[in-house]
Structure formats: structure tokens, C-alpha cells
Chain A
């Protein structure tokens, strides 16, 4: 039997928290995983938004994928009263992602069923392990690519 390319959560009956981060344009695996949720204890669904996730959302296929996810998350609200959280970074890239949310999750945002949350690691960690360095290198890397 071929292995599933998405987490099968049908037997995870104690599941309370789910968090996904997609660093690519394919979000089908998130939708597929959410469809398998069998837990009656699920309380939180968090999706961390990454710029790479939204890079191709102008294409029709990607729009359809996001619409599927949008519909599914609305269903989770109606059936389980779960308000999904969309987490983005507090920098300008993250805010850009947040501003584009209504275009890729239209129903969810129109009905006000989603919590947008800014998140960054604690400052102590960022300083200790060069997080600031990586924050600086991100834009520099992009600049290098576009020049």
C-alpha cells in the first residue's frame, strides 16, 4: 500500500492542537491532513504563513487549493467551533502576507472567523542564536536574487 504524503490524523483521537507551516506553494497536504482529523478534542488549528506559500497564489490551481482550505476551515468553525489562527512574522514581509489573507481565504476572513496573530521568537533567543542575523540576511538574500 503506498504511503500517504500527508499526516493521517484519523486515529489521533486525543489530538488538541494542530499547527502547520508550509514553506512551499503546495498546501494540499495541509487540507488533506485536516480532512482526516478524527479527534473530538481538537481545540486549536494554527497555520503559519510563509511568503513562499503565497508566491504562486495568482495561478488558478493555487487559488483552488486555497479555496478548498478556506471551505474546510469554515466547516471546522461550524462543526467544532474552532477559530483558526493565522500566524505571520511581525516584519513588513509578514504584514504583507497578512494583508493578502482576504484574497486567499475569502470566506473565512469575510465572516471574521480567523484570528491573525503576529509572532516572533523571544528576543533573548533571537539575540543568543543570531536570529537578528538571519532577519538581516533574508532581505539581503532577496535583494541579491532580484538584482
Chain B
């Protein structure tokens, strides 16, 4: 006697296992009809690392974008995106598969060598609403503006030295109505200036800033600009010598979207 569960009941059962990856992997092998729902949870959060989990191995595993589970991914984390060895065309194809992405985190974006992000990463997915960038250079502001629906922005370990050239303000910018996290142990003045130049202004409801004492004026400018929308303000202000040991807090700057995923 065959017994089939109604799909909505099956979905409910699988949803209960959303934070148990091992069980989900086992469920994924039960039957073809179980695959879409389990994949939805298994691939909700995906992370790439240059050494352990390179992007290239994903491309090899899922060569056909139409069969790729990337469209289940809502949160994507990439460490050291510069080391992508695939051609720009391949990466562009690959990025196009993540069309339901909500949160994007790029870590170690190569500020030490002033490397720019590969072009296909710009506008990675138009649905991205939350962006977190760590260890990055000032190329980042053009990158930020390539996400039209962006609401939450977190920048940590921003390196100001790369911004020696005079840059024009980007032609357009996202609305930025969510949260801003800014932690720059080397100073936030230049970063603040670039943010204040955004043509569509800043409308953050939540601001979290870790800065040096001499940069408090810059934090003040950010607060003044967002004062009509501001609901939550968190300012950490350090003496130069004290900052280094405590500013690790800033490395955990998370956006509300990220916390809701956790």
C-alpha cells in the first residue's frame, strides 16, 4: 500500500528541520519530490572561501545555471573574492544564478593591495538588501551603489589610504533605509564623506559607529543627516591606543537581516 503525504504537510515537516543540515541532507536523498523543499533550507546560506570552498568547485558541481540551487540562497558570504580564477564571463554567469539573494557579505576584499573587486561582482544580484563588507578599499562605494534595493550596509576595516584620487559622486545610490554599521579603526572621516555624497541621501533608521575620538565629528555628521529617520543610535568612541583591542566588536557588525537569518 502506498501512502503519500500531501505536499504542504511534507513542506511543514521539512521546514521544522531548517536548522539541522545533516537531517536535511538525509531527507534530500529520500525522493525527488523532497529535493526542492530540503534544498531551500540547505542552500539558504552559502559561503565560499578561496582555499576550502572555492567558487570554482561550485561552478564545476553545478555547471548548468538552470539546475543550480543558487536560487534558494538568500545569504551569501565570500571570503577574498579577488582570488576567483574563473574568467569574468564565467563569474558573471555564476553571479546571475543567485537571483533571490537578500544578504551579501564579502570579506577580505583586498584593501592591502588596493585590488578592485572583479567587475561581475558589481550589482551581484539586484535583490540584495543587506551588504556587509570587511577589509575593503574605497572602491567599495561604487560597489555599494550598484545595488538599487540596498537598505542595510555594514563596513568594517575600511582602509582609507586607497582613496587618494578625487572621485566624483556616483550618479545614483540606493535608498539605504535600514541600518548602517561603520567600524574603521583607521578613521571614518573619508568613508563618511563618501557616504554623505550619495545623491539619494542617507535615511538609516539605525546607526552603529565605532570610531576614534578625533572622528566623532564625522559620526555626528552621519547622525545629523539621518536625524529625521533615526530610531536607534550606537556610538563607540575610543582613544587611539584603546581602539585596537576593543574594536573587534566592530568585526561582528551584523545587519538586522543577518540576525534574522541566524
Contact surface of A with B, Cβ cutoff 8 Å: 3-9, 11-24, 26, 29, 33, 41, 48, 50, 52, 121, 125, 129-131, 134, 137-138, 141
Residues of B within 8 A of A16 (CB): 231-232
- Docked-complex contact B223 and A7, CB < 8 angstroms: yes
- Docked-complex contact B252 and A22, CB < 8 angstroms: no
With contact pairs A7-B219, A129-B252 given, residues A17 and B231 touching in the complex (Cβ less than 8 Å): yes
Residues of B within 8 A of A20 (CB): 234-237
- Docked-complex contact A5 and B216, CB < 8 angstroms: yes
Contact surface of B with A, Cβ cutoff 8 Å: 205, 210, 213, 216-217, 219-221, 223-224, 227-239, 242-243, 245-246, 248-249, 251-252
- Docked-complex contact B238 and A23, CB < 8 angstroms: yes
- Docked-complex contact A19 and B235, CB < 8 angstroms: yes
- Docked-complex contact A11 and B228, CB < 8 angstroms: yes
- Docked-complex contact B220 and A50, CB < 8 angstroms: no
User: Which label, helix, strand, loop or mixed, suits the secondary structure of the A interface?
Assistant: loop
- Docked-complex contact A17 and B227, CB < 8 angstroms: no
- Docked-complex contact A141 and B245, CB < 8 angstroms: yes
Q: A13-B227, A14-B205, A137-B245 are in contact. List 18 more A-B contacts (CB 8 A).
A: A3-B217, A4-B220, A6-B216, A7-B233, A8-B220, A12-B233, A17-B232, A19-B234, A20-B236, A20-B237, A22-B237, A23-B238, A29-B216, A33-B235, A121-B249, A129-B251, A134-B248, A138-B245
Residues of B within 8 A of A19 (CB): 232-235
Q: How far is the CB of A29 from chain B (nearest CB, A)?
A: 6
Which of B210, B224, B231, B232 lies in contact with A8, CB distance below 8 A?
B224
Q: How far is the CB of A127 from chain B (nearest CB, A)?
A: 12
Residues of B within 8 A of A125 (CB): 252
Residues of B within 8 A of A50 (CB): 242, 246
Which of A9, A15, A48, A134 lies in contact with B236, CB distance below 8 A?
A48
With contact pairs A24-B242, A129-B248, A131-B248 given, residues A9 and B227 touching in the complex (Cβ less than 8 Å): yes
With contact pairs A11-B227, A12-B227, A23-B236 given, residues A5 and B217 touching in the complex (Cβ less than 8 Å): yes
Complex CA distance for A3 and B196, rounded to whole angstroms = 15
Closest to B207 in A: A7
Complex CA distance for A51 and B202, rounded to whole angstroms = 34
> Can you spell out 19 A-B residue pairs with CB atoms less than 8 angstroms apart?
A3-B217, A3-B220, A4-B217, A7-B220, A8-B224, A11-B224, A15-B233, A16-B231, A16-B232, A18-B234, A19-B232, A19-B234, A21-B237, A22-B237, A23-B243, A121-B249, A121-B252, A129-B248, A130-B248
- Docked-complex contact B237 and A29, CB < 8 angstroms: yes
Which of A6, A12, A23 lies in contact with B246, CB distance below 8 A?
A23
Residues of A within 8 A of B251 (CB): 129
- Docked-complex contact A9 and B231, CB < 8 angstroms: no
Closest to A128 in B: B252
Complex CA distance for A82 and B251, rounded to whole angstroms = 30
